[in-house]
Amino acid sequence: MRELTQEEQLAIQTVRAFVKNELAPMAKKIDEDDVFPVETVRKLGELGLMGMFVPNEWEGAGLSHYLYALAVEEISSASAAVGTIVSAHSSLAVWPILRFGTDAQKKRLLPPMAKGEAIGCFCLTEPEAGSDAANLKTSYSKHASDGYTLSGAKAFITNASRAKTAIVFATKDRSLRHRGISAFLLDMETPGVLVGKPEKKLGIHGADSCPVDFDEVFLPKECLLGNEGDGFRIAMATLDGGRIGIAAQAVGIARGAFERAAAYARTRAQFGRPIVEFQAIGWMLADMLTKIEASRMLVLRAAELKDSGGRSTLYSSMAKLFAAETAMETATKAVQVLGGYGYIKDYELERFFRDAKITEIYEGSSEIQRLVLANELKKENFAL
């Protein structure tokens, strides 16, 4: 972990003030309403939090991935749903444009995205292509007028109901598996794009996950992101960053749950003393604290690698795996510390418990992270 620069210190103070004064008081309502929090996201945009690592040149805040990870943790410690919205927008939609887009694409798309005026989404997952992402069916073909026609169905697309800009992955020939896949930049208002109703989910209420259908959608040739056939590698490189965002979100969820459990254990008295004095509770809290801190270190290590321009696959997957399992374990134990109070909505812990689960599932399940890690360490040049 490194020292923050003066600019980063100022930025994180801004995030903390926003979280404390505006987001935390709204978090319960966002969960209960289960509606995309338009106003909150608008404020995030005003504060530069929808374009944190976008350079000033493209009207972003020009900060590091390191600071971005800390900010997503802060946001998620109050509202995991808002953490999801920020992370999916920033890591999965803004970053691939920044990394693989042409100057013209960046100039056109990044400024409104960095200000939160245009929300982004990432259309990879399909009803029958989740973990096996290369098996996707959404297809494209060359159009007579030098563009592309896109058809197919995507599933569980975060932010889709409000998104303006989508990164869509489609294949020209399924027999080529991942080598047939290309990435496209799509305006969600294009004719033929149909966004379905947000799914009713266990947690992260307010962060919409929708089915999206493409019915012969025409895309001019300027919409291709990177080269034809590079789509799968673009998706995987993007997910290396996305997994840092979700790991940071998991640290935030774990921290939110831990803080509530620790505060309760210090004040709740049973058998004549605060329950934190009982080893069963004190040790539970000690384990939570240790794992949260270890998770944060992995997240920040991955973010540092991303800032250095290196491939962060190994650390991204370790961070996502460990932080997600820590979030689930911490939230489960935190509910246990509060007992009956942990199980009722007034105490908010049940929200953290519900929200934690998704971190073990999306942007590559824990099983997929283990698979990625096992694949990495099979490589001849593997080194920590």
What residues act catalytically?
363
Q: Does 246 bind ligand COS (CB under 6 A)?
A: no
Do residues 114 and 50 touch, judged by C-beta distance below 8 A?
yes
Of 250, 242, 203, 243, give the one whose Cα is nearest residue 359. Answer: 250
237 binds ligand COS (CB under 6 A): yes
Q: Indicate the residue among 130 and 342 with the shorter CB distance to ligand COS.
A: 130
Min dist. Cβ of residue 165 to ligand COS (A) = 16
Total count of residues recorded for the chain: 384
Q: What is the DSSP letter of 268?
A: -
- Report which DSSP code applies to 364: S
Angle between helix axes 349-359 and 24-33 (nearest 10 degrees) is: 70
Is there binding between residue 181 and ligand COS (CB under 6 A)?
Answer: no
Of 68, 232, 352, 353, which one interacts with ligand COS (CB under 6 A)? 232
Residues near 338 by Cβ (< 8 Å), separated by ≥ 6? 260, 261, 264, 347, 349
Residue type, position 68, single letter: Y
| Chain position carrying tokens 């934190």 | 276
By CB under 6 A, the count of residues binding ligand COS is 21
What's the min distance (Å) between Cβ of 204 and ligand COS? Answer: 12
Which of residues 134, 136, 170, 349 is near ligand COS by CB under 6 A? Answer: 134
- Beta pairing class for 181-187 and 269-270: unpaired
Q: Name the nearest CA neighbour of 42 among 110, 111, 118, 107.
A: 118
| Minimum CB distance to ligand COS, residue 286 (Å) | 33
Residue 363 is a binding residue for ligand COS (CB under 6 A): yes
Q: Does 99 bind ligand COS (CB under 6 A)?
A: no
Q: Which stretch binds ligand COS (CB under 6 A): 73-81, 213-221, 297-305, 367-375?
A: 367-375
> The tokens of 77 are what?
């410690």
227 binds ligand COS (CB under 6 A): no
Least separation in angstroms between CB 88 and ligand COS: 8
Contact segment (CB under 6 A) with ligand COS among 1-9, 25-33, 119-127, 250-258 equals 119-127
Closest CB to ligand COS among residues 233, 268: 233
Out of 233, 268, 354, 370, the residue judged to bind ligand COS by CB under 6 A: 233
CB of 384 to ligand COS, least distance (A): 17
Q: 240 vs 360, which CB is nearer to ligand COS? A: 240
Whose CA is closest to 182, among 211, 141, 214, 145?
A: 141
Residue whose CB is less far from ligand COS, 234 or 337: 234
167 binds ligand COS per the rule CB under 6 A: no
Candidate list 28, 43, 178, 268; residue touching ligand COS; CB under 6 A? 178
Establish if 258 lies at the interface with ligand COS (CB under 6 A).
no
Asked if 104 and 233 touch (Cβ cutoff 8 Å), the reply is: no
At 58, the amino acid letter reads W
**Smallest separation (angstroms) from ligand COS to the CB of 198:** 15
Residue 276 CB, nearest distance to ligand COS (Å)? 38
Determine, following the binding rule CB under 6 A, whether residue 16 of this chain makes contact with ligand COS.
no
Tell me how many degrees the CA angle 130-193-121 measures, rounded to the nearest 5: 50
Residue 214 falls in which region: left (phi positive, over 0), alpha (psi -120 to 50) or beta: beta
Q: Where are the beta strands (DSSP E) in the chain?
A: 119-123, 139-142, 148-158, 163-171, 181-187, 193-195, 209-219, 224-225, 269-270, 273-274
In the complex, which residues of this chain contact ligand COS (CB under 6 A)? Answer: 122, 124-125, 131, 133-134, 178-179, 232-233, 236-237, 239-240, 313, 362-364, 368, 371-372
